[in-house]
Structure 1
Amino acid sequence: MSTTPPARPASLYVPRSNLMDPDDVRPFVDAVATAQLVTVGEDGVPDATFLPVLWQGDRLLGHLARANGHWRRIVDGSAALAVVTGPDAYVSPSWYASKAEHGKVVPTWNYSVVHLRGRVVVHDDAAWVRGLVTALTDRHEQPRPEPWALTDAPADYVDKNLRPIVGVELVVASVEAKAKLSQNRSDEDRAGVATGLVADGRAPEGLVAP
């Protein structure tokens, strides 16, 4: 009889104190707007590609370069993981106010991350890719005083530049979100981390819990 324990679904380790507020998850992904797409081909070899993304409804949309063999190794409908990461920073124990009190402090790392899991589909379709690139462009250009639009470029030039990319769509089945921002430390320690980050030339926003 096998003594191997049953396989458990992969999950992100998230202590209760580091749970990201559910209302913050979509805005976080929208603000980062990129992800590492991780898939495993039929040969069991994993692939990962950094790509711009849009999260619309239960779909995470992106595109890869046609020259990138990753998309050819994706099995339509297979499991995939998209990893969205925010700011991260080393935290020195010397920044904690409690260091002077008892010295029982150690280094750590602060960061935020969202894991989106589901099934992935490749879209080698010109109209689908055009729609995605238009939506991505509009999303990033909209805040600008004079937004650039896909239609600003000659149509044949746009067509030429769309041919070298392929679309991917992750049908999101689960979302896990972690914000490790010194929530387990005292107000004084968190203030020390914020001061230390500024001294290191880093903005503390998004790296230390309020």
Structure 2
Amino acid sequence: MYVPEHFSETRLEALHALILRHPFAILCTCGKNGLDANHIPFELEASVGELGRLHGHLARQNPLVQELADGGEVLVVFRAEHAYISPQWYPSKHEFHKQVPTWNFQVVHAHGRARLRDDKNYLLRVVGRLTKTHEAAQSLPWKMSDSSREFIDALLAQIVGIEIEITRLIGKSKLSQNKEVRDIKGAAQVLQRQGHLELAEAMRQAAEEKAGS
């Protein structure tokens, strides 16, 4: 991924925070059948190793299970909110007419080695933690115990766990940091009105950091 210095995010806590906020990722692989991409949610175990570990699961019928039978290098892409940025939102454009459209976003690329986990206890832990995390906001959270053990066991038999030891994290936060502070804030205000709350807040923080530097 091309990352200009002013868009680079290297703080581990910030990279982990994005993964936790946006756990639904693209798992990219390149095996004997060529390039492949799968879309699955991951759980981050941040305290393990230097950079953390990812846990998820795949359908047993997914050809990727055979591709990763012996492990291998993978890339997992986590993306936060993104949005089109119009030049009209920059105050400086109306003075100098030297702005063009762009697209702002935040993304983390997690490189690592994958290992398939085909034991029931691992799958129970992964599915249980994913369920607990994403049901937490519900007024009446669903639990695996809401279904019979036989039903859950039958479904667990249809999936395989995947564990990824993160070996490299690359973060890119393109938040108009290469613009004037007033332009960053101006674009953030429009994004706020459009409902892009997370991206607008990230841009406001970038403006404050630039103003204080």
* TM bin (shorter chain): 0.7 to 0.9
Q: Following the alignment from structure 1 to structure 2, what is the Cα–Cα distance between the partners of residues 40 and 193?
A: 38
Tell me which amino acid in the other structure corresponds to 1:35: A
Residue 52 of structure 1 corresponds to which residue in structure 2? 41
AA in 1 matched with 2:31: G
Deviation at 1:79, TM superposition (A): 0.8
Residues 56-107 of structure 1: per-residue CA shift (max 9 Å, x gap): 1231111112232222222523111100011111111111111111111011
**1:42 shift after superposition:** 2.7
Aligned to 1:78: 72
TM-score under structure 2 normalisation?
A: 0.84
Please, which runs of 5 or more residues in structure 1 have no aligned partner? Answer: 1-11
- The one-letter amino acid paired with 1:171 is E
- Structure 2 counterpart of 1:42, which letter? K
Write the letter of the residue equivalent to 2:23: A
* 5+ residue gaps, structure 2: 206-213
Who is 1:206 aligned against? 199
Distance 2:36 2:5 in 1: 31
* Structure-2 separation of matches of 1:62 and 1:28: 17
Decide whether the 8 Å contact of 1:38 with 1:80 is kept in 2: yes
Identical pairs, percent: 35
The structure carrying a bigger helix percent of its residues is 2
Match of 2:170 in 1: 176
Q: 2:120: which partner in 1? A: 126
- Contact kept? 2:104, 2:174, Cα under 8 Å: yes
2:116 is paired with a residue of what secondary structure?
Answer: strand
How many residue pairs were aligned? 197
For the residue of structure 1 that corresponds to 2:199, the secondary structure is coil
CA RMSD, 1 decimal: 1.8
- Cross-structure match for 1:110: 104
Q: Shift of the alpha carbon at 1:143?
A: 4.4
Does the 8 Å CA contact 2:185/2:204 hold for their aligned counterparts? no
Please tell me whether residue 196 in structure 1 is matched to residue 190 in structure 2: yes
Task: Give the CA deviation at 1:127.
Answer: 2.5
1:22 aligned partner: 12
Q: Where does residue 62 of structure 2 map in the other structure?
A: 68
Shift, 1:117, TM fit: 0.6
SS for the counterpart of 1:206 is: helix
